[in-house]
Structure 1
Amino acid sequence: MDLKLQGKKAVVTGGTKGIGLAIVQALVAEGAAVAFCARSKDGVEAAVAGLKAQGATAYGEAVDVSDKAALAGFVENAAKALGGIDIVVANVSALAVGGDEESWKAGFQTDMMGTVRLVDAAMPYLEKSGAASIITISSVSGREIDFAAGPYGAFKAAIIHYTQGLAYQLAGKNIRANSVSPGNTYFEGGVWNQIETGNPDLYKDSLALNPTGRMATPQEIANGAVFLASPAASFITGTNLVIDGALTRGVQF
């Protein structure tokens, strides 16, 4: 299928590893120009160099998305570097699962406000696009109670609600908004790799919950996200796409 992403311009937060990196790579493979950020300067520079070596148009900055001014500056610089913005993908999470007040603050500033501020900063550019699309990365923890109940699950649920509100509010401007809720996703250096080595009992129990007998790969999540972001999904807006290998049991109507 031609996703019609050739020449489109995308901005991704958290684009140097895991799901974010897979989304960046998938966008580039479809012909899109991509700007992305992450907290590690070395990680950003290495990712940009790797993409440019493949002939891609890529721009990156080291940014903490909980810093409003820094995030807004990155979006402006990205729009200048790419010549506009057609797609934004809000992917960063603080992964805050503690019950203390600092975890709640971290989840709010990074997961929730990092998403809202990205969309707000990109909106003037999205309004000029003929194929504008907003993708937010939520989680199955936003639709059921699991070990991540607390700030992580609460803000992931709020992101779904926020995104569906955007879809309704922006439909008249031809700007689509969808969320993706990944199940457990395994990659080297990721949270489940860390749990596998640091808390093997939790890893074993979590793996056993999935009837497929495995966790997702970042590429499997990216495939769904990039399709929703693309003009090929031109009449899909307000959707929360669960990609979890039948891990969750709640019925979506």
Structure 2
Amino acid sequence: MDLQLKGKRAILAGASKGIGRAVAEVLAAEGCAIELCARDQAGVDQAVNHIQSQGANARGESVDLADAAAYRDWVVRAGERLGGCDIFVCFGSAGGGPANEERWQAAFELDLLATYRGIDAALPALEKSDNAAIIVISTTVAIEPAFGPQPYAALKAAVTNYAGALAHSLAAKRIRVNTVSPGPVFIEGGSWDKIKQGRPEFYEKTLTQVPLGRLGQAREVADAVAFLASPLSAFTTGTNLVIDGGMTKRVQH
């Protein structure tokens, strides 16, 4: 299926690995020009080099998403290099874990404020696009707690709420805003890989809670993001797409 993304311009924050990198690779394969950032320069270089080796247009910079000024400046600079922006996605996250003050602060900065700041900085460029799409990355534990109280879940719930309200406020400007909420996703070297190695009983227990009997893959989430960002989803805004193999039990009215 042609997603009609050829020639579109995507700014992806925190996209050097995991789901972010998978999204960068899928969008690039569909013909998008990519600007990405992450804190680790080596990771950025590796992601950009791989995308470029596939014949796609990609550039990247080392940016700390917790540095508000540097992050905002990068988004603006990325849009200028691309000649505009059609797609913006922020993958910044402090990750899960038990609540303490340090984790609350990190989640506030990297899950909530990084999303807000990136969107805010990208808006002037998005307003000039004829297919402007913002994709917000949340999580199933924001809508149905599964692993105990944690800042990650609470701040992602705030992000989900913000995205829904933003979709309504930006609709008149023809800017679509949708949320993608993955369940557990297995990424080599990622958190679930570490859990599998260090806490195999918990890993196996989690598998039993997923009706499809396995964890998700980054590419499966990336394909969904690409679809929502594409002109084929031109009438979709304000939705929260849950990708979790049926793990959440709520009926989605």
Same fold by TM-score greater than 0.5: yes
Q: Give the direction of change, closer, same or farther, for the CA distance of 1:124–1:82 in structure 2 (3 Å limit).
A: same
Secondary structure at 2:88 match in 1: strand
In structure 1, C-alpha distance between the alignment counterparts of 2:97 and 2:188, rounded to whole Å: 21
Matches within 5 A, 1:121-200: 121-147=121-147, 149-200=149-200
What SS does structure 1 have at the residue aligned with 2:64?
A: coil
Stretch deviating more after TM superposition (156-165 or 90-99): 90-99
* TM-score, with length taken from structure 1: 0.97
Structure 1 unpaired stretches of 5+: none
CA distance in 1, matches of 2:35, 2:27: 11
SS at match of 2:245: coil
Equivalences for residues 237-252 of structure 1 within 5 A: 237-252=237-252
Distance 2:96 2:217 in 1: 22
Identity of aligned residues (%): 47
What is the Cα deviation at residue 98 of structure 1? 2.3
Could you tell me whether the CA contact under 8 Å between 2:212 and 2:245 is conserved in 1? Answer: yes
Scaled by the length of structure 2, the TM-score of the pair is: 0.97
Q: Deviations over 1:128-161 (max 9, x none)?
A: 1111000011000111111153211101111111
| Deviation (angstroms), 1:201 | 1.8
Distance 2:149 2:143 in 1: 10
* Residue type at the aligned position of 1:138: S
1:170 counterpart letter in structure 2: L
Aligned residues: 253
Q: Provide the residue aligned with 1:203 in structure 2.
A: 203
Instruction: Report the AA paired with residue 154 of structure 1.
Output: A
The separation in 1 between residues aligned to 2:155 and 2:135, in whole angstroms, is 16
How many angstroms apart in 1 are the aligned matches of 2:202 and 2:62? 33
| CA deviation after TM superposition for structure 1 residue 114, in Å | 0.4
Asked if 1:113 is matched to 2:113, the reply is yes
Contact 1:9 1:85 in 2 (8 A): yes
**4+ runs of 1 displaced by more than 6 Å?**
none
Query: Does the alignment pair 1:41 with 2:74?
Result: no
Q: Answer whether contact 1:34 1:58 (CA < 8 A) is retained.
A: yes
AA of the residue aligned to 1:239: T
1:70-124 Cα shifts (integer Å, max 9, x gaps): 1112112211221111100111210042211111000000000000000000000
Contact 1:96 1:106 in 2 (8 A): no
Residue aligning to 1:225: 225
CA deviations 1:178-208 (Å, max 9, x no partner) are: 0000010001011100111122121111111
Tell me the residue number matched to 1:18: 18
Contact 1:186–1:192, Cα closer than 8 Å, also in 2: yes
Q: Distance in 2 between matches of 1:198 and 1:36?
A: 32
Residue identity matched to 2:43: G
| CA distance, structure 1, for counterparts of residue 204 and residue 149 of structure 2 | 19
Q: Is the 8 A contact 1:88 1:133 kept in 2?
A: yes
Aligned alpha-carbon RMSD (Å)? 1.0
Cα offset, 1:169, TM superposition: 0.1
Write the letter of the residue equivalent to 1:109. E
SS in 2 for 1:164: helix
